[in-house]
Structure 1
Amino acid sequence: MRLLQKFRGKSSPKQGGSGGSNYAYVTARVRAMKSNLLPKETYPRLMNMGIDEITRFIEESQYKQDVDELARVYDGVDLFEHALNRNLAVTFTKLISISEGELNFLISEYLKKYDIWSIKTILRGKYCGASVEEINDSIVSAGQLSYSFLSSLAEKESYESVIDALSGTDYYPTLKGYDGTNLSAIENQLDKMYYDGLFYALGNPKSKDSKLFAKLIRTEIDSKNLSTLFRLKNAGVEEDEIAELILDGGLHISKKEIERLLPLPFSDFVQSLEKYPCWEDISDIAKPEMESLVELETQLTKYNIKSATSFSHMYPLSIVPIMDYILNKKNEVNNLRIIMRGKAADLDEEIIRNQLVI
Structure 2
Amino acid sequence: MQLLQKFKRGNKKSQPKGHANYAYTTARVRAMKSKILPKETYPRLMNMSIDEITRFIEESEYKQDVDELARQYEGVDLIEHALNKNLAVTFTKLLSISEGDVNFLVGEQLKKYDIWSIKTILRGKYCNASTEEILDAIVAAGRLSYTFLSDLASKATYEEVISELANTEYYPILKNYDGTNLSDIENQLDKMYYAGLFGAIEESKSKDRKLFAEFTRMGIDLKNLITLFRLKRSGITDPEMMDLMIDGGLKLKRKDIEKMITLSLADFVSELEKSPYWDVIADVADPEMVSLIGVESQLKKHRLKSAASFSHVYPISIVPIMDYMLSKKNEVNNLRIIIRGKAANLDDETIKEQLVI
With over 3 angstroms needed to count, the CA separation of the structure-2 counterparts of 1:215 and 1:205, relative to structure 1, is farther
Distance 2:321 2:125 in 1: 35
Distance 2:121 2:47 in 1: 34
Q: CA deviation at 1:196?
A: 0.4
**Cα distance in structure 1, aligned partners of 2:160 and 2:79:** 30
SS of 1:144's partner is coil
What's the RMSD between the two structures over aligned residues?
Answer: 1.7
Aligned partners of 1:50, 1:348: CA distance in 2, in Å? 13
Residue 10 of structure 1 aligns with which residue?
none
Q: How far did 1:18 drift?
A: 4.0
1:178 matched to 2:177: yes
Q: Is the 8 A contact 1:19 1:101 kept in 2?
A: yes
Write the mapping of 1:106-255 to structure 2, written as runs, cut at 5 A: 106-255=105-254
Q: Identify if the C-alpha distance between structure 1 residues 320 and 102 changes in structure 2 by more than 3 Å, giving closer, same or farther.
A: same
How far off is 1:182 after superposition? Answer: 2.4
Report the counterpart of residue 326 of structure 2 in structure 1.
Answer: 327
- Taking structure 1 as the reference length, the TM-score comes to 0.91
TM-score (norm 2): 0.92
For residues 302 and 330 of structure 1, the distance between their equivalents in structure 2, rounded to whole angstroms, comes to: 13
Moved more, 212-221 or 157-166: 157-166
Q: What one-letter code is carried by the residue in structure 1 that aligns with 2:29?
A: V
- Which segment is superposed worse, 242-251 or 297-306? 297-306
SS at match of 1:130: coil
> For residues 76 and 132 of structure 1, what CA distance do their matches in structure 2 show?
21
User: In structure 2, what is the Cα distance between the partners aligned to 1:291 and 1:18?
Assistant: 48
Q: Give the structure 1 partner of residue 340 of structure 2.
A: 341
Q: Count residues in correspondence.
A: 345
Match of residue 29 from structure 1: 28
Shift in CA distance, 176/289, structure 1 to aligned 2, threshold 3 Å: farther
* Other structure's SS at 2:133 match: helix
Shift of 1:204: 5.0
**Structure 2 match to 1:355:** 354
Amino acid at match of 1:36: K
Q: Deviation at 1:353?
A: 1.5
> Mean alpha-carbon deviation: is it higher for 155-164 or for 110-119?
155-164
Structure 1, unpaired ranges of 5+: 1-12
**1:161 Cα deviation after fit:** 2.4
One-letter amino acid of the counterpart of residue 181, structure 1? T
**Residue 347 of structure 1: how far off its partner (Å):** 2.4
Bigger CA drift: 143-152 or 126-135?
126-135
Q: CA deviation at 1:137?
A: 1.9
Work out whether residues 235 and 264 of structure 2, in 8 Å CA contact, stay in contact via their aligned partners in 1.
no
Give distance in 1, aligned partners of 2:314 and 2:337. 32
Q: Distance in 2 between matches of 1:156 and 1:54?
A: 37
- Cα distance in 2 for partners of 1:127, 1:203 equals 37
Give the match for residue 8 of structure 2.
none
Shift of 1:132: 2.6
Does residue 43 (structure 1) correspond to residue 42 (structure 2)? The answer is: yes
Q: Distance in 2 between matches of 1:164 and 1:352?
A: 42
Q: Distance in 2 between matches of 1:165 and 1:328?
A: 34
Q: How does 1:253-292 map to 2 (within 5 A)?
A: 253-290=252-289, 292=291
Letter in 2 for 1:100: E
Counterpart-to-counterpart distance in 1, 2:230 and 2:99: 40
Partners of 1:51 and 1:154 lie apart in 2 by: 31
Give the CA deviation at 1:291.
Answer: 5.1
| Structure 2 counterpart of 1:111, one-letter code | L
Which shows bigger deviation, 290-299 or 309-318? 290-299
Name the residue aligned to 1:70.
69
Q: CA deviation at 1:293?
A: 1.0
